[in-house]
Amino acid sequence: MAAARDRRQDGQHPAFYALLAALIFMSVGPIALMFVNSFKLDVDIISGTSGLLFLPTIQNYQTALCDILWFELEHLDFCALKFGGAFINSLIITLISTVLTLVIGCMAAYALVRFKFMGRDTASLTTLMVRMVPPAVLLVPVFGLWNNEFCIGKETLVGEWIRDTFGGRGDVCLAGTHAGIILIYIAMNLPFVIWILQSFIVQVPRQLEEAARMDGASPYQVFFLVVLPLIKPGLAAAAIFTFRIAWNEYLLASALSDRNTKTVPILIVNNMSEFNVEWGVIMATGMLLAIPPIIFTLLASRQIITGMTAGAVKG
C-alpha cells in the first residue's frame, strides 16, 4: 500500500501531465496570443496568416510610444495616441499611492493588533465593512465631491497662488489632479492592506517587542526597528496588491482625470470603443500595461500567494 503510493508520487499518470499541460496552455495562451499579436501588423492579424509565420515588427510599440520617442516615425505623420504621457501618469499615481498606502496601512494595522484603545472594535469593523465597497459605488459621490466640494476657492490666498502658478479658471479642485486620483486609491486600498498586514503582525512574537521596550525603546522605535523588518514578506505582498489595483484601475480614474492626467487603462478603453479597432497598436498598449504586473508576478509569486492565502486561510 505504502509502496504503491510512493510509486504514484514519483511517476504520475500520463493523463495527469496532459491535464497540467492543458491548464498551462489555457492560462498562459491568451496572454501569449496577445504578446505575439502585438508584434504583428494589422494586415497580418486580419488576413489571419496563422501561427508564427510573420515578420515581427516593433512598429506597434513605436506608434504607441510616439509622443515620448526622440525620433520621428516614418509610418506616422501625426501622433494621435499619447501613450507615453499616460504611462508616466500611471507610474506617478501608482507609485505614490502604493508607498503612502503601505506606510499608513501598516501603522494602522499595528495599532489594531497590538494596542487596546477606545474605538478599536469600531475601527476594525469599519475596515472590514468598507472592503466590500465596489469602485462603481464610489463613482457618484467621488465625482461630486472631487469636482464641487473638495476645492480651494479662487478668492482665497492658496487658491489664488495655485491659479497664478498653474493657470486655469474657476476654483481649484481635486478632480483632474494626480493628487485627487491618488487620494481615492489610497482610501480604496487601505482596508485591504490593513487586513493583510494584521495577519502578519499577529505572528510577530510579543516577547521580542517587550524585550525592546525593556531596553528603553519607545513604541515608535519598536514599530520601525523591530516590527517592520519582521513583516517584510507581508509588506511585499501588500505592496504588490496595492500596485496591481492602482495600476489596473479604470473607472474612478476615468471619472476624475482630465486630458493631462489620463492613465493607461483609460487610453486603452477609449481606443477600444472606436468602431474600427487597430488591433496591433491596441495590443501593444495592452502588453505595455500588462508588463509591470507580469514582472512582479514572476519575481514575487511566493509573496503574492502568501498574501492571498493569509487572509482567507489563516484568519
66-125 binders of another protein (CB under 8 A):
103-105, 107-108, 110-112, 115, 117, 120, 123, 125
CA atoms of 95 and 164, how far apart (whole Å): 28
CB 200, min distance to another protein, A: 15
CB 102, min distance to another protein, A: 11
CB 16, min distance to another protein, A: 8
CB 146, min distance to another protein, A: 9
Q: With binding defined as CB under 8 A, does residue 4 bind another protein?
A: no
The C-alpha angle 224, 228, 229, rounded to 5 degrees, equals 110
Q: Which amino acid is it at 283?
A: M
Taking a C-beta distance cutoff of 8 angstroms, is the pair 281, 63 a contact? Answer: yes
What are 46's three cell numbers?
486580419
Taking a C-beta distance cutoff of 8 angstroms, is the pair 179, 89 a contact? Answer: no
Segment near another protein (CB under 8 A); pick from 12-20, 58-66, 68-76, 224-232:
12-20
Number of H helices, E strands in the chain: 16, 2
- Binding mask 159-188 toward another protein (x if CB under 8 A, else -) reads ------------------------xx-xxx
* Binding to another protein, residues 283-302 (CB under 8 A): 283, 286, 289-290, 293-294, 296-298, 301-302
- The total number of residues written for the chain in this structure: 315
**Residue 143 burial class via C-beta count within 10 angstroms: exposed 0-12, middle 13-18, buried 19 and up:** middle
Q: With binding defined as CB under 8 A, does residue 33 bind another protein?
A: yes
Q: With binding defined as CB under 8 A, does residue 223 bind another protein?
A: yes
